[in-house]
Amino acid sequence: MTNAEADHVDVLIIGAGPAGLMMATWLAKCGIKTRIVDKRGTKVFNGQADGLQCRTLEIFDSFGFAHRAWIEANHMLEISLWNPDETGVLRRSSRIPDTIPGISRFQQVVLHQGRIERFFLDAINEFSQGTISVERGVLPTSLEIDTTTVEDPDAYPITVKLRHLSEEEARPKQTATSVNGTAIQDGLFRSNLSPDDTADMITSAELNQKADTVETVKAKYMLGADGAHSWVRKELGFKLEGESTDYIWGVLDIVPITDFSDIRQRCAIHSASSGSVMVIPRENKLVRLYIQLTTTEKTGEQESRADRSWITPEVILESAQRILAPYKITYRKLDWWTAYQIGQRVGSSFSAYERVFLAGDAVHTHSPKAGQGMNISMQDSFNLGWKVATVVKGLASRSILKTYESERKGIAKALIDFDHKFSRLFSGRPAKDIMDEEGISIQVFKEAFEKGNLFASGIAVDYGKSSIVAKPSVDNSSLSEEKRQSLAPEIKLGMRMPSVKVLNQSDARPWHLQELLRSNGTWRVILFPGNIDSERQKKRMTSLCNKLSVPSSFLKRFTPPSSRYDSVIEVLTIHASKHQDHDIFDFPEVLRPYDEVDGWDYNKIFVDDESYHEGHDQLYKTWGISSSEGCIVIIRPDQYVSYVGEIDDYNSLDGFFAGFLLPQTGSIKAGV
C-alpha cells in the first residue's frame, strides 16, 4: 500500500447522499476548501427516497435549482382515504389536500433521489467552478481527533485515512438499469433489512492490492453523512437509540394497470383485515406502493431483524391485490422494489467537539412512508453548512456551531415521534365500528393525517433561543423581546421567513421575498420603513441610516476590508408607499450602495405595492406590520428569523451581531 501525500482541507464530508451533497453545496457556494468522498462507485439511479417537502423546495430554490425538481417531479395535490364500509367493502371516505393551502409557494412533489443528487452535483460543480467533486469508491478507515487543539480556530485537529477502492469493489451488487426501464432492480441491497456492507468492502479492498491506495487527510471540520450504518458515528462511539417492530412493509415502484380510480393520488388504503397500502404517484407514469406484509406488532430491540428470504415482488404484489380487492391491480413495468421493517431511532449526540458532525440517517432512522427522511437529512446539513463556512472564514466565533445540535436534535426527536405515531396508526387494523376499541377509527386517522401534514411540510420548524435567535426564552420570558415580536406578528422568531411578492422599486418586477434571500452565506437586515411619505418614518429611517453609514457600524466592522459591501450583511428595504411616487434616490445611499464600475445598486430597495400582472400580496397587512411604525428584521443565511425590532433601534441590531460576529478591522483572518 502506498501512503499518498497528506492533504489539508477545511472540511471533509463522508457520504455523498442528500445530506452530504447539501453540505458540499453550501461549502462550494461559500468558497470553502472541501472534499466529499463516498464508498460507493456510482450515485443512485432509481428507487430510494422520493418525496420533497415544501421547505426542501424553498431551500433548493435558494440555491437556484428548485425549478428543475418542480418541472420533472410529479405534483401530489390530493390525498384520498379509503376504508371498509359497514359491509367491509373498500370505499373512498374522504379527499383532502396533500399540502396545506397557503403554507408555502411550493407544494409537496415526488421525484426519485437519483435526480435530486444530479441537481446537487451540478450545483456543486457550478459553484466551485469544478474544484469540488464527489470522490467515489473512497472509504475512510481511521479517524483521529487531536482534542488539545479543537478550540483553536486555525487548527486542523482531524486526521482521517482514506482508502481508494477499485471500481469493482465500489460497485454495489445492483443490476445496472436505466431509470424507469423494464429491468427489475432489487432495492434490498440498500434497505434497512440488509447487513451493513462496509466490512465486506474493506475486506474486498484488502484483497485487491493494485487498485488500493491510502491517503491521510487533515481537516478543520468533518461531516459524517454516511447513512444509517454510519462509520463516522461508530468511530465516535455514538449510539442510535430507539426500537423497531415486526411490521414489515414492501415497496413496489411500478407502472400500474388497474381499475382503481385514485391510483394517481396519494392514497391511504386500509382494508378490513388484509392490511394497508399507501399509494404515492410518481414521475414518468410510475406509482410507488407501500404495502403491509405482516399485520402483527412485536416491538423489540433494534437488532431483531425479520427473516426476509420469502419477500419477492410477486409476494408484495399479491399482498397489494388482497388489500385493494375488489379492484384489480397488476403491472408490466417494475422499476424497483424493496422491503423494510419499521423502526425509529435517534442519535445520542450530533457532534464531537463541534468539529465532527453527524447528519441525516446517521442520526435518525425511521419508516419511509411519510416522505420525511431525505428532507430532514438535507435540512440537517442546510442548518450546518453556513455555520461551518462562516467560522472557517473567520467571520464568526465557534460558539455558533453549538446551535447545530441544539436546533437539529429536537427536530430529529419530533420526526421520530411523528413517525412512531403515524406508522402505528397506519399499520393498525381499521375499527369496525365505534365500539371497536382495538381498531383505529377513520376520524382519528384523518385528523392525524391532516396534523401530520403541517409537520411533513417542513414549515413548522421553530428553533429555540440562542446567540443567533433573539427570542424570549421559554422559562424567563423577556418583555422587550415579546414587544418586538408584536411589530411583525407573522414574521415569527425562530421560524423560516415567510414569503409574499414585493416589487423592485427600480423596475417594478415582482419577486417572491424568499427569492431575494439566496443561500450564499450572507446575513440579511430587512428594513420595513413603512410609508416613507410620513415625515416621522422618513426621519427614523434617516436616523438609522446615518448610524449604518459610519465606519464603526456593524455593517462595516464585521465585513473584511477587501470584500463587497453586502458580502457579510446585506441590507434590503421594503417600503409601503406607492411605487410610482418614488425612485431609489429618495432613499439614503447606504440602502442602495454605489460601486465605481457598476453604478448604483438597483436590487436593494423594494415596495409592497400592486403589480401589473401578479396582483398585490399586501405584505404589511398580511404580516401585521403597521405602515406608520414599520420594523426591522434580521434573517440568518438559512432564511430563519433571528430578530424583530424597532426601525431606529440601532443598538439592539449592533448588539445582536456583536454576539457572534468577529471584527474584521485588522488584517484578514487566516482561513479567509
E strands, 1-128, are 3-14, 34-38, 51-52, 74-75, 78-84, 90-97, 109-110
Question: Which residues, in sequence order, are bridge partners of residue 365?
Answer: 345
* CA 564 to each of CA 524, 559, 620, 654, 665: distance values in angstroms, whole numbers, following the listed order: 14, 8, 30, 20, 14
CB of 451: closest distance to its own copies in angstroms? 18
Residues counted in the chain: 672
> Which set of grid coordinates corresponds to residue 628?
406608520
CB of 264: closest distance to its own copies in angstroms? 4
Helix or strand (DSSP H, E) at 486: none
The residue assigned the cell 449526540 is: 349
Residue-by-residue DSSP string for 552-616 = TSHHHHTS-TTS-TTSSEEEEEEE-S-GGG--GGGS-GGGS-EETTTEE-SSSEEE----SSS--
Report strand pairing: 641-645 vs 631-635.
antiparallel
CB of 176: closest distance to its own copies in angstroms? 20
Helix or strand (DSSP H, E) at 383: helix 373-392
Which chain residues interact with its own copies by CB under 8 A? 67, 71, 74-78, 95, 97, 99, 101-102, 107, 255-259, 261-265, 281, 285, 332-333, 504, 506-510, 580, 583-585, 596-599, 602, 611-613
CB of 51: closest distance to its own copies in angstroms? 15
Helix or strand (DSSP H, E) at 513: helix 513-516
Nearer to its own copies, 210 or 332 (CB): 332
Annotated active-site residue in 282, 345, 408, 636: 282
CB of 580: closest distance to its own copies in angstroms? 6
Interior/surface letters 164-200, b for 16+ CB within 10 angstroms, e for the rest: bbbeebbeeebeebebbeeeebbbbebbbbbeebbee
Annotated active-site residue in 290, 404, 620, 643: 290
The residue assigned the cell 438597483 is: 602
Helix or strand (DSSP H, E) at 634: strand 631-635
| Phi, psi for 157 (deg, rounded to 5) | -75, -5
CB of 36: closest distance to its own copies in angstroms? 27
CB of 107: closest distance to its own copies in angstroms? 6
Annotated active-site residue in 368, 498, 510, 637: 368
E strands, 259-316, are 266-270, 276-281, 287-292
Nearer to its own copies, 198 or 603 (CB): 603
Report strand pairing: 356-358 vs 213-224.
parallel
Nearer to its own copies, 67 or 173 (CB): 67
Active site residue 92: no
| Phi, psi for 197 (deg, rounded to 5) | -95, 5
Nearer to its own copies, 33 or 75 (CB): 75
Annotated active-site residue in 10, 38, 50, 419: 50
DSSP three-state, residue 128? coil
Nearer to its own copies, 433 or 585 (CB): 585
Active site residue 332: no
Nearer to its own copies, 210 or 613 (CB): 613
Name 537's Cβ contacts closer than 8 Å, sequence gap at least 6.
529, 530, 531, 628, 630, 647
CB of 79: closest distance to its own copies in angstroms? 10
Q: Are 323 and 291 in contact (CB under 8 A)?
A: yes
Evaluate the omega torsion of the peptide bond into residue 489 and state whether it is cis, within 30 degrees of 0. Answer: no
- Please, what is the end-to-end C-alpha distance for the chain in angstroms? 35
CA 367 to chain centre: 17
Active site residue 594: no
Q: Are 386 and 519 in contact (CB under 8 A)?
A: yes
Q: Helix axis angle, 402-427 relative to 373-392, nearest 10°? A: 180
CB of 579: closest distance to its own copies in angstroms? 9
CB of 196: closest distance to its own copies in angstroms? 38
Nearer to its own copies, 197 or 283 (CB): 283
Q: Are 527 and 574 in contact (CB under 8 A)?
A: yes
Nearer to its own copies, 265 or 542 (CB): 265
CB atoms within 10 A of CB 609: 22
Nearer to its own copies, 74 or 522 (CB): 74
Active site residue 266: no
CB of 98: closest distance to its own copies in angstroms? 8
Residues labelled as active-site residues: 50, 282, 290, 368
